[in-house]
Each structure stands twice: as structure tokens, then as C-alpha cells.
Amino acid sequence: MNSDNKKLRLEKVNMDNWIPLVRLKVKRDQQSFVASNVGSLAEAYVATISGGYPQPFGIYRGDKPIGFLMVGYYPSLEYAKKYAEEGEATPYFMDKSYLIWRFMIDKKYQGKGYGKEALQLALDYVRTFPVGEAKYCWLSYEPENEVARNLYRSFGFVEAEKLPEGWDEIPAVLEL
């Protein structure tokens, strides 16, 4: 019984919704897997004023915020190199690509299939090429995060065969 008001939707972060979104939390044992939402919004702000392309969203079930998503865009490898940390490689998949930069479902809503539904919404959005054309969508996750690994694999993301130099998270790539 999934009525329309219970379907998930993405809503851009704005002055009216950012406070409830930064209050969303993951379980204690997941805190090392994802940055805080307030930290992510700060990073989005800095990226924006530096010429970047962050797109933060709330994940909603009806009118209730249940998660947070941030998408980024890399128009070229030169752009990726400009924003890479010192000693960090910029692999091929960063060229003309979208990044699922942040993705979390609040602890009260986990285990109900919302992560899968929200990831599908994110990929549907990315495939509209809202900022520019792209060949890849990629993301990264902590090596011990088996739940994330399995979710992303179920959507066709393929882990990089070798960890890029300077990376401590596992990148996974989906060809669009």
C-alpha cells in the first residue's frame, strides 16, 4: 500500500528545509562511513563559491525528510585535478562524470528499502545530465561498508580493480 504521498522524492536543499536535513543521523556504528550532513552542506558551499557543481538534496517520503543526497559533477580531468587533494590520483572515470558525493538514510528509516529507492531516484536524476554530459557516474565507500557495497553492486556499479593512489575509499563506477 504505497500511496503517492509515501513515494520518495528528492528536494533541493534550501532555506526552508536545511535544518531538518542536518538533524538526520545514521546509526552509531555507521558514523565513520559518511560525513555529517552539516559538514556536507559546508563543503557544498565552498565548492560552489570555488566554481564547483555540488547539488545537495533532501530525500523525502511524503513531507518527511528521511535522508540526504549530494551529487557532484566533473566536467573534465583538468577540473578533477584542480580539486584533488595532494597526492590523490584522478582516475579516468572522473572525466565528464557525476559523483554521488554523499548518500545517507536516517537511522529511523533504514532497512525498509528506502536506500534502494532513493539511489534509483539519484541515478534517474543524473541521467538527465542536469549540469552537462557525462559517461560515468561514480561514488566511493569505506572498505568495511558491506551494506553500501552490496547496494551499489545491485545497481551495476563496478569497483575499481586497484585503489587509486592516495585514496582510502573504494571507488565504484557505473557507465551511463
Residue 1 pLDDT class (50, 70, 90 cuts): very low
Instruction: Give pLDDT, residue 99.
Output: 97
Instruction: Give pLDDT, residue 4.
Output: 55
Instruction: Give pLDDT, residue 133.
Output: 96
Q: What is the number of domains present in the chain?
A: 1
- pTM of the entire predicted model: 0.91
CA distances from 34 to 16, 46, 129, 148, 169 (A): 24, 18, 25, 11, 11
pLDDT at 107 over 80: yes
HSE, side-chain direction, 13 A CA sphere, residue 139: 27
Which amino acid, 124? D
Which CATH number characterizes residue 144's domain? 3.40.630.30
pLDDT at 161 over 70: yes
SS3 20: helix
Comparing C-alpha atoms, which of 54, 75, 74 is closest to residue 171? 74
Instruction: Give pLDDT, residue 2.
Output: 44
- pLDDT tens, position by position, 11-65: 999 999 999 999 999 889 888 898 999 999 999 999 999 999 999 999 999 999 9
Helix axes 146-154, 114-126, angle to 10 degrees: 50
Instruction: Give pLDDT, residue 146.
Output: 93
Instruction: Give pLDDT, residue 89.
Output: 92
- Expressed as residue numbers, the domain containing 118 is 4-175
